[in-house]
Amino acid sequence: MARGALAAAVFAASYLGCALLALRQRPHFRAVSAQAPSARPSAALRARLLYAGSLTLVLSLCCSWLAHGVSFGSLYWVLALGATSVAVTFTLTWRPHWLGAVLRGVSAGSQSSQSLLGRN
Amino acid sequence: MRAALVFLRILLAVVGGYGVSAALSAGLAWGLPRVSSTPRGEAVVLAGMLGFVVYLGVLLGALAWPGRRRGAASRPSFRRSMSVLHTWAGLVLGAVLFAVFWMGTLSVFDREIDRWMMPSTRLAPPPASLSLDDTARKAAERLAPGAKQWSITLPSERTPVLQLRYPDPAGGDSVLRYLDPRSGALLSPPGTKGGTGFIFPFHFSLHIAWLDLGIWLVGLAAMALLVLVVSGVVIHAHFFKEFFTFRPHKALTRSSLDLHTTMGVLALPFHFVMPLSGLIIFFSLFFPGTWQAAFQGDRAAFNREVFGGYQRPRAGEPAPLASLDVMRARAEELWGKGTVSSLRVMHPGDAAGHVEVRRTSADQVALSREQLYLDAVTGNVLGRAEGQRPVLGVQRFVAGIHFLQFDDWALRWLYFLAGLAGCTMIVTGFLFWLESRRSEHARQGLAGVRVVEALTIGSVTGIVVATLAFFVANRLLPAQASLWGMPREQLEMVAFYVSWLVTFAHAALRSRAAWAEQCWVIAGLAVTAVVLNAWTTGDHVLRALGRGAFGVAGMDLLLLVAAALAAAAARRLERRPLRASAVRGAQSHLENAAGVGRAAHG
């Protein structure tokens, strides 16, 4: 049971991590936040997205190792990363507003990275 | 003139680069054991694996060097020569690459395809305990009396039958028979090569056995894919800014390029590791100089040291074969319960007979090379394949990543999806090439787009049509079918190749309309295959699910999904014929396109 939950967490964290990294880019940020075409993420927000995204991906790798061991876990993580990043791409193409909550979560977080992670 | 120069340069790089890397790897395999304490086998494996890295370096260096005429090696011109390289390698070997990717993707489920194509082997999961002495051994002694050797592969979840292989008494290839593991009864011959016998070997050999030409061609395509991945990253570097972007509503050049880079970049580790590991599996074939130099051309000695094996000559005195079940239990004491995958009996019935027991790879990434050798008469242990070989361990691990022999359904599906991503990457690469040149070729009266489009359609939708025709023929042909001396299994393959040829001819005749028409054929054949399976075997999806034949049900469901996707694609293609004007607009986005186009026109 715990192993199944960890295995699911690999995909969830990998998807979230890719989404956070994607939101650093202007077109995706605009599409998700439904702001004016000139809007761009602030430097502070971009930095926060980078840290949160990278940490979430590392978390995903750790979950994968815990669930499947190092050799199978690494294989899982690489393939899951590919699958979820394509899923993020398609979300941004057809349902960008789904990621609105992710963006709001990161934007509303305080400057401290601790609470930022708490929200994610 | 320009095209001839480009061709000459590619030929020189491919042949010369191979010569350089083969010489270097042979030198390393010969020299390393002489200057260090490295065992010969380890040196050969190391040299063989490094050979591909050297070859890739030489190919990239020789093909992508911008050359003097275009001035200093500034970044844009480096990127442009990479772009020319990417275009040419993709154009020339894209069709082979698609065939390899398609068959490789299907091979992920080769045993499930076997169950679907061989209804007599759709048995319940194998029993927890079974006696080899009462089942396979009796069959072997009856079917292959006096054979030099025979082997038994134990049943597994995905292959719930016992497999018995023995030399053909008539002198042909070895014979493979399936047995019910419960009763030991021989199952009727399936009359098909199935997924493991046709689709999987197609993946690495294209079924061209003459001079191993097929394997060499696939090896060349794998090298080309490595070159394509590296050059692709260089030329699409500015697309990293637009990561995670797919714009299906824009012009076809734009949307196909989006999809090409998305599928290429996001599954990049897969697209790099698969060709490289595939080459590494065949290192001793592609770089024979390595083992010839280190073992003075003694192939058997090389095989024995690297892959293990035990040999002793026949004694000529009869002696009874001891219990195989006891030998299997002895190996399981060593490796753990349920870990034996196969047993091979050499010189059965002879006093010098011996048995080779192999361990399964189901519970590890690396391909297992654990073997135990036992005396066939006394059952005493004669030896085992030695452990501790770090370099060989790496090779087995890399090969294991490629072979996917472990039991893990989630990983199996992820491999399948990654394979489909690879197929998508190749198709969209072709589409981009076609769409960014279509109007210009039409204006100049060039045949390039027409020819490439026919080849693309034949090698993309065509191979899917051919595969489905193979499945349909499997369900339509009567059990004893034969024609002009060809047995049933060959007739299925004829159905594959003939329908593939027809799709090329159709594509040449119908040009662009062939995309939609072949999509309709795919949808029709896929549904037909599902209906025929239900009609001829009674295992429709619900019944198969109900009796736990998940492989059969899964295959039917995937066929239905494929039919739905193909029908949707065909409808879309017919409803929204592509406009040439929309195509031209996107061209300005691509600084490379013009340069690539000029080079390709020659």
Please check whether residue A99 touches B, CB under 8 A: no
Give a three-class secondary structure readout of B401-457.
HHHCCCCCHHHHHHHHHHHHHHHHHHHHHHHHHHHCCHHHHHHHCCCHHHHHHHHHH
Residues of A in contact with B270 (CB under 8 A): 78-79, 82
- The confidence score (pLDDT) of residue B129 equals 84
B203 has pLDDT over 90 = yes
> Which strands sit side by side in the sheet containing B371-375, from one edge to the other?
B175-179, B162-166, B149-153, B340-346, B354-359, B371-375, B381-384
- The confidence score (pLDDT) of residue B511 equals 83
- The confidence score (pLDDT) of residue B76 equals 59
Residues of B in contact with A82 (CB under 8 A): 266-270, 414, 417-418, 421
Least confident of B33-42, B203-212, B363-372, B385-394: B385-394
Q: Note whether A71 contacts B247, CB cutoff 8 Å.
A: no
Percent of chain B predicted with pLDDT > 70: 92
Residues of A in contact with B365 (CB under 8 A): 71-72, 75
Q: Which residue has the tokens 């109007």?
A: B439
B269's CB contacts (< 8 A; 6+ apart) are A78, A82
Q: Note whether B415 contacts A79, CB cutoff 8 Å.
A: yes
B381's CB contacts (< 8 A; 6+ apart) are B330, B372, B373, B374, B375
Give a three-class secondary structure readout of B181-224.
CCCCCECCCCCCCHHHHHHHHHHHHCCCCHHHHHHHHHHHHHHH
B473 has pLDDT over 80 = yes
On whether the CB atoms of residues B381 and B356 are closer than 8 A, the answer is: no
For residue B285, the cross-strand partners are none
Q: Which phi and psi angles does B348 have, rounded to 5°?
A: -60, 135
Q: Note whether B266 contacts A89, CB cutoff 8 Å.
A: yes
Q: What token pair was written down for B30? A: 């010969």
- The confidence score (pLDDT) of residue B210 equals 85
- The confidence score (pLDDT) of residue B127 equals 84
pLDDT in tens, B421-449: 999 999 988 888 888 888 888 788 787 88
What is the Cα–Cα distance from B135 to B181, expressed in whole angstroms? 7
B253 has pLDDT over 60 = yes
Handedness of CA A93, A99, A103, A106 (dihedral sign): negative
- The confidence score (pLDDT) of residue A65 equals 94
What is the average pLDDT across B239-243? 72
On whether the CB atoms of residues B179 and B139 are closer than 8 A, the answer is: yes
Please check whether residue A78 touches B, CB under 8 A: yes
Q: Which of B148, B418, B409, B168 is nearest to B270 (CA)?
A: B418
Q: Note whether A71 contacts B243, CB cutoff 8 Å.
A: no
Percent of chain B predicted with pLDDT > 90: 39
Q: Note whether B421 contacts A27, CB cutoff 8 Å.
A: no
Residues of B in contact with A78 (CB under 8 A): 269-270
Q: Which of B344, B346, B337 is nearest to B136 (CA)?
A: B344
What is the Cα–Cα distance from B372 to B332, expressed in whole angstroms? 10
Q: Which residue has the tokens 């030991």?
A: B184
Torsion of CA B370, B376, B379, B382, to 10 degrees: -50
For residue B573, give the 3-state DSSP assignment: helix
Average pLDDT value over all residues in chain B: 85
What is the Cα–Cα distance from B495 to B490, expressed in whole angstroms? 9
What is the Cα–Cα distance from B283 to B222, expressed in whole angstroms? 13
Question: Which residues of chain A are under the pLDDT cut of 70?
Answer: 1, 37, 109-120
What is the average pLDDT across B415-421? 93
Residues of B in contact with A86 (CB under 8 A): 262-263, 266-267, 421
Element (H, E) at A76: helix A70-94
Element (H, E) at B358: strand B354-359
For residue B386, give the 3-state DSSP assignment: coil
pLDDT in tens, B514-524: 888 999 999 99
Q: Give 3-state DSSP helix, strand, coil % of chain A, rounded to 5.
A: 85, 0, 15
What is the Cα–Cα distance from B189 to B586, expressed in whole angstroms? 56
B465 has pLDDT over 60 = yes
Element (H, E) at A77: helix A70-94
- Which residue of B267, B365, B421 is in closest CB contact with A75? B365
Residues of A in contact with B410 (CB under 8 A): 7, 76
What is the Cα–Cα distance from A54 to A117, expressed in whole angstroms? 11
Pairing of strands B175-179, B162-166: antiparallel
B225 has pLDDT over 60 = yes
pLDDT in tens, B280-308: 999 999 999 999 888 888 888 888 888 88
For residue B354, give the 3-state DSSP assignment: strand
pLDDT in tens, B306-316: 888 888 888 88
Handedness of CA B229, B235, B240, B245 (dihedral sign): negative
Least confident of B33-37, B437-441, B461-465: B437-441
Q: In terms of CA atoms, which chain A residue is nearest residue B265?
A: A82
- Which residue of B243, B364, B365 is in closest CB contact with A25? B243
B204 has pLDDT over 90 = yes
B349 has pLDDT over 80 = yes
Q: What token pair was written down for B55? A: 């070859």
Please check whether residue B243 touches A, CB under 8 A: yes
Pairing of strands B149-153, B340-346: antiparallel
On whether the CB atoms of residues B360 and B332 are closer than 8 A, the answer is: no
- The confidence score (pLDDT) of residue B311 equals 85
Q: Which of B182, B188, B189, B125 is nearest to B159 (CA)?
A: B125
pLDDT in tens, B474-494: 999 888 877 888 888 899 999
B69 has pLDDT over 80 = no
Q: In terms of CA atoms, which chain B residue is nearest residue A31?
A: B245
For residue B238, give the 3-state DSSP assignment: helix
Q: How confident is the model at residue B1 (pLDDT cuts 50, 70, 90)?
A: low
Q: What angle do CA B340, B346, B350 make, to 5 degrees?
A: 130
Q: Note whether B244 contacts A76, CB cutoff 8 Å.
A: no
Q: CB count, 10 Å around CB of B375?
A: 18
Please check whether residue A26 touches B, CB under 8 A: no
pLDDT in tens, B73-103: 445 577 777 787 788 778 888 899 999 999 9
Average pLDDT value over all residues in chain A: 83
- The confidence score (pLDDT) of residue B591 equals 37
